[in-house]
Chains A and B, each alone.
Chain A
């Protein structure tokens, strides 16, 4: 999961980034409105955490520009302006949820998780694919109720694939959503990761579509 954090307060930004990284997210950070607008429109994020009080271009304007260019990524608005006036404005502009400062990291993570889950079409709070279930709170994935031991990269990849169950995901997309920006995208790490995951969850859950990418699907499991 790739998340954009837009926050002008350096320390708060650091804390959020740390918490997200610990929970298995890939994080990009922006400190002003113009950067945020550009990054949000050019990169493919699974969610955005957006502070409203930003220099250069305020958060609401950034949000409304994204929505005007039909960018539907889920946005969690984070702000010191804690009146219902601000909340209504934010939500009407196109925010998906609202969190007032000061906030608990756990709550932010839970809300972010819920946003991503809903944006990928899961109504149920717990994402399940076949024997796999994603525990949003604990950064862990269970198989038949038992905890899977996963590295950070393995977790990121499997969680992303679970959210996009049934979709064929290209290497480029997977790299974008599980690696930091400066990663060398030509390497074959994805194949290595897929092989490691197949060993842990069973080979038939992850199908390879040659030349297109990989697909996490239960029907492949039952069909073959």
Chain B
């Protein structure tokens, strides 16, 4: 499924990208703020320790400096804990915490000239390469000149706090991202539901179970739905217009043809035969093309469905009228319940021509029967006439072909049936009847 071809994928991917970017930005900001906060707290603690250290120093009158016990708590007595304090004077160590590396003789940080007052901050690597952060302050005492006070702490503390915070933060953000994505998927699914319903309804229209789209769609889709309905109506009216124009054309052409043919019949000139031939040819092609014209919408009008038995009833009634003198028995079997997916007049035209042929040739009985096979219906027209020789069967489906010139007709019937069946992607077959005569079988799409 290519990105540009799927609305769902497009929505999901774009919102996923947006969510991930936002969450990354938020996480970065939080980590930045948290790191600052931790550093400030660490610095404040170092500062407090520095003040405590300065306060705990006692200087005797002799100028001798003494530190009162272990002023800054147990961290400062644990060896190499990173928590150190020291008091120095220039390059000379005066006193230091119990945690300090006792082999070292120089001050941890050379504070240099202490002309500046107030705290100074130092980041450096202490013993064993441990990264340390320290604060120093130079204090001038009455008896011993300037002393440099230093308190340091391990920067690892900050780093591990930030690391731990980051881990927790990322876990939280991950859960948040998954939750948001699930919500989006759910929303997209819900939003796409009317689209799927639209597709189902359109399929129903194509299948002939529905005429128009229903009006129960979300407001946003209604313009599309009503446009589609308009389009369906427009289609139907075009088909209807084509049929009406076909009928008008038939009328306009056939009256003059009747006149010409009758005049030719009365002429004694041998050339009258040419005129009659031409009229017959013209009649045939007009008939054939009109049929195509009238059926131009065959199979394209999505709503068409036709109850076969109604058509069979009408046609049997008509055949009994038209072939009254032949006193035939017309029967129908198993056509109840069959539905043809197409226009009624097209089925009438196909079945009418087959029945008319059967009635011309039958001795006594013509039978219409039918069956449904999956998505096709098969209609059989059987007569008990002489039958069609195997080698002529293909020929009778061609336009203008008549096996017996003495039976009236234009010789178009079966060719028209074939044309129309083609338009419905159906077919017409001629074969032997059940016992004798001919069986014509029409295979057409079924309406389900």
A155 interface hit (Cβ, 8 Å): no
Question: Could you say which residues of chain A place their CB within 8 Å of the CB of B211?
Answer: none
Q: Decide yes or no: A9 and B317 within 8 Å by CB, A15-B262, A83-B349, A84-B352 being known contacts.
A: no
B272 interface hit (Cβ, 8 Å): no
**Is there an interface contact between A12 and B259, defined as CB atoms closer than 8 Å?**
yes
Flag the segment in A87-95, A142-150, A173-181, A188-196 that touches B.
A87-95
Interface residues of B in 207-263 (CB under 8 A from A): 247, 250-251, 253-255, 257-263
Number of interface residues of B (CB under 8 A): 35
Q: Decide yes or no: A84 and B261 within 8 Å by CB, A92-B317, A97-B321, A101-B255 being known contacts.
A: no
Question: Could you say which residues of chain B place their CB within 8 Å of the CB of A101?
Answer: 254-255, 257-258
Least distance between B404 CB and chain A CB atoms (Å): 16
**Is there an interface contact between B247 and A87, defined as CB atoms closer than 8 Å?**
no
**Is there an interface contact between B287 and A82, defined as CB atoms closer than 8 Å?**
yes
**Is there an interface contact between A81 and B353, defined as CB atoms closer than 8 Å?**
no
Question: Could you say which residues of chain A place their CB within 8 Å of the CB of B261?
Answer: 102, 104
Give A98's nearest chain B residue, CB to CB: B322
Give B252's nearest chain A residue, CB to CB: A80
Q: Decide yes or no: A84 and B251 within 8 Å by CB, A15-B259, A102-B257, A114-B325 being known contacts.
A: no
Least distance between A105 CB and chain B CB atoms (Å): 6
Question: Could you say which residues of chain A place their CB within 8 Å of the CB of B251?
Answer: 53, 80-81
Interface residues of A in 34-82 (CB under 8 A from B): 53, 80-82
**Is there an interface contact between A83 and B345, defined as CB atoms closer than 8 Å?**
yes
B324 interface hit (Cβ, 8 Å): yes
> B257-292: contact bitstring with A at CB < 8 Å (1 yes, 0 no)?
111111101000000000000010001000100010
Name the contact of A88 in the complex, choosing from B250, B260, B287, B318 (C-beta under 8 A).
B318
Question: Could you say which residues of chain A place their CB within 8 Å of the CB of B265?
Answer: 104-105
Question: Could you say which residues of chain B place their CB within 8 Å of the CB of A91?
Answer: 317-318, 321-322
A130 interface hit (Cβ, 8 Å): no
**Is there an interface contact between A118 and B257, defined as CB atoms closer than 8 Å?**
no
Question: Could you say which residues of chain B place their CB within 8 Å of the CB of A114?
Answer: 324-325
The CA of A118 and the CA of B283, in the complex, are separated in Å by 31
The CA of A81 and the CA of B247, in the complex, are separated in Å by 6
A96 interface hit (Cβ, 8 Å): yes
Give B350's nearest chain A residue, CB to CB: A84
**Is there an interface contact between A84 and B321, defined as CB atoms closer than 8 Å?**
no
Name the contact of A80 in the complex, choosing from B250, B259, B294 (C-beta under 8 A).
B250
B408 interface hit (Cβ, 8 Å): yes
The CA of A30 and the CA of B345, in the complex, are separated in Å by 31
Question: Could you say which residues of chain B place their CB within 8 Å of the CB of A84?
Answer: 315, 318, 345, 348-349, 351-353
B375 interface hit (Cβ, 8 Å): no
**Is there an interface contact between B349 and A102, defined as CB atoms closer than 8 Å?**
no
**Is there an interface contact between B258 and A12, defined as CB atoms closer than 8 Å?**
yes
Name the contact of B258 in the complex, choosing from A53, A83, A97, A102 (C-beta under 8 A).
A102
Name the contact of B321 in the complex, choosing from A85, A96, A103 (C-beta under 8 A).
A96
The CA of A42 and the CA of B215, in the complex, are separated in Å by 55
Least distance between B420 CB and chain A CB atoms (Å): 11
Question: Could you say which residues of chain B place their CB within 8 Å of the CB of A12?
Answer: 255, 258-259
Q: Decide yes or no: A103 and B315 within 8 Å by CB, A81-B247, A82-B287, A84-B352 being known contacts.
A: no
**Is there an interface contact between B250 and A81, defined as CB atoms closer than 8 Å?**
yes
B331 interface hit (Cβ, 8 Å): no
B314 interface hit (Cβ, 8 Å): yes
Question: Could you say which residues of chain A place their CB within 8 Å of the CB of B315?
Answer: 84, 88
The CA of A107 and the CA of B351, in the complex, are separated in Å by 24
Least distance between B217 CB and chain A CB atoms (Å): 37
The CA of A95 and the CA of B408, in the complex, are separated in Å by 20
Q: A98-B321, A102-B258, A102-B279 are in contact. List 14 more A-B contacts (CB 8 A).
A: A12-B258, A80-B254, A83-B291, A84-B348, A84-B352, A87-B322, A88-B315, A88-B317, A88-B352, A92-B314, A98-B322, A101-B255, A101-B258, A125-B325
What are 8 inter-chain pairs, A to B, with CB distance below 8 A?
A15-B259, A80-B254, A81-B250, A82-B250, A83-B291, A88-B352, A97-B321, A101-B258
> Which residues of B come within 8 Å of A, CB atoms?
247, 250-251, 253-255, 257-263, 265, 279, 283, 287, 291, 294, 314-315, 317-318, 321-322, 324-325, 344-345, 348-349, 351-353, 408
